[in-house]
Structure 1
Amino acid sequence: MNTEFNFNDIIKKSVLNLEAFRSLSYVDLLWGLLIALLVGLFIYWVYRKCYRGVVYSHNYNMTFVLMTIITALIIMTISTNIVLSLGMVGALSIVRFRTAVKDPMDIVYMFWAISAGIAAGAKIYPVAVGGSLVVGAVIWWLSRRKENGLPYLLIVHYDEKAEDEVKRRIRKIHSVLKSKTIKKSGIELTVEIKMQGDNLSLMNELSAVDGVQDVVVVSYNGDYAQ
């Protein structure tokens, strides 16, 4: 009976005792939202400056700011009452993020925004601010590192008589065959190469070959071209 009384007493206090909602002061609320907003804007700035994908989306970047603030609000809400926390978990379990994430780095920014929002909502402000500064510095440093050649797609249209010469010139550099299409009008060859900056010497060499119709170089980023 004593155990049952204690259990019922806990349930009553959690459900009926509205004093639990007063444990979060307006000062804590304002500070939490302010820190979440500042960290969200910092994530927004880092994403804007370090984005290296194909097409930058301003609306998608804005979601990181809102995600940080909303996550902080959720943590503030569920921290005031155990029943609310259980109900919030049940409500969030039916939410599905159905937008296709094309760049793996976007997932990193999502987790960053959620983690910072959790820290701000839990009033662990040093973790929210300090952790965000460290993550932002690491992303900035990695995005500014110079790579040994950037990947490009080299597309060459040529006649059959020029095939041997085209292959000989392409073999001079590291390349990966992507596709080869043989048509009645000629041959289309697509290979992945790496070039430093805007070095177009290979394009000039190929275009000078007798039988080459045109040479195109396209910036290549994983599965996407721009």
Structure 2
Amino acid sequence: MGESLNFQDLFKKSMLHLEAFRSVSYTDVLIGLIASFGIGMLIFYIYKKTFRGVVYSYNYNVTFVLMTMITAIIIMTISTNIVLSLGMVGALSIVRFRTAVKDPLDIVYMFWAISAGIATGAKMYPVALVGSAAISLTLLWLSRRKVREQPYLLIIRHTEEAITGVRTQLRKLNYTLKSKTVRKDYIEMTIEIRLRDDNTAFVNVMSAIDGVLDVSLINYTGDYAQ
């Protein structure tokens, strides 16, 4: 029977394997970096194409490209030596990210970038490419479905004389009354409506009614107004 290999022996052998860095294939490293960069740019394009938030951040989007490449470098590094892998886990465990993520979909893009970096770093290029293509098509399809019908908040301030005209216009819309505030000089109503293809011509018609003070249309995501 052969001698059992304990953790100490494994650790010593792993230290000796540090010499493996001298035989690193620069071609494999270059291919991995090019693949991770390409997938990162795909994530960059899909995020910009499907973004539906308030203010688009270029710097935030660039982090997905860099995150993919950095993750690939980490995986290529720790795959060569067990000591480095343990040290990398310890080093990364002390990192804390304090940036608040407002849109839960942004977390999906982060996991996508990390997963693609892991796959390319492990030389699993078909997994990274096919998986990224499938995710891209899914996000594009879902974003188009979202554009078809979007919720809006319609805020109307009008006097008593405009009640009939306002109600006539509201009957043409699929709406839900959210709030109604009656003041001495005017009435304010907040209404939720759903629109297709950004057809907002009714706002001009409603604002032209005698007695209507102002009309505001605000895109509404469910958490905050945009």
TM-score w.r.t. the length of structure 1 is 0.85
1:10 counterpart residue number: 10
Matched AA of 2:92: L
Deviates more, 1:33-42 or 1:178-187: 178-187
Change (3 A) 1:5 1:129: closer
Matched AA of 2:211: G
Preserved CA contact (<8 Å) 2:147 2:197: no
1:187 counterpart residue number: 187
The alpha carbon displacement at 1:42 in A equals 1.3
Matched AA of 1:72: A
Matched AA of 2:91: A
Matched AA of 1:78: I
Task: Flag structure 2 segments of 5+ consecutive residues without an equivalent.
Answer: none
Deviates more, 1:17-26 or 1:61-70: 17-26
The alpha carbon displacement at 1:20 in A equals 3.7
Q: Distance in 2 between matches of 1:103 and 1:39?
A: 22
The alpha carbon displacement at 1:101 in A equals 1.4
1:33-67: CA deviation from partner (whole Å, max 9, x where unpaired): 11111111111112122222221111011000000
TM-score w.r.t. the length of structure 2 is 0.85
Number of equivalent positions: 225
CA RMSD of aligned residues (A): 2.6
Identity %: 61
Matched AA of 2:15: V
Check if 1:42 corresponds to 2:42.
yes
1:177 counterpart residue number: 177
Q: Distance in 2 between matches of 1:5 and 1:118?
A: 29
2:138 counterpart residue number: 138
Check if 1:100 corresponds to 2:107.
no
Task: Flag structure 1 segments of 5+ consecutive residues without an equivalent.
Answer: none
Q: Distance in 1 between matches of 2:11 and 2:200?
A: 73
Q: Distance in 2 between matches of 1:147 and 1:44?
A: 20
Q: Distance in 1 between matches of 2:8 and 2:97?
A: 38
2:217 counterpart residue number: 217
1:142-161: CA deviation from partner (whole Å, max 9, x where unpaired): 22336553211101011245
Change (3 A) 1:210 1:58: same
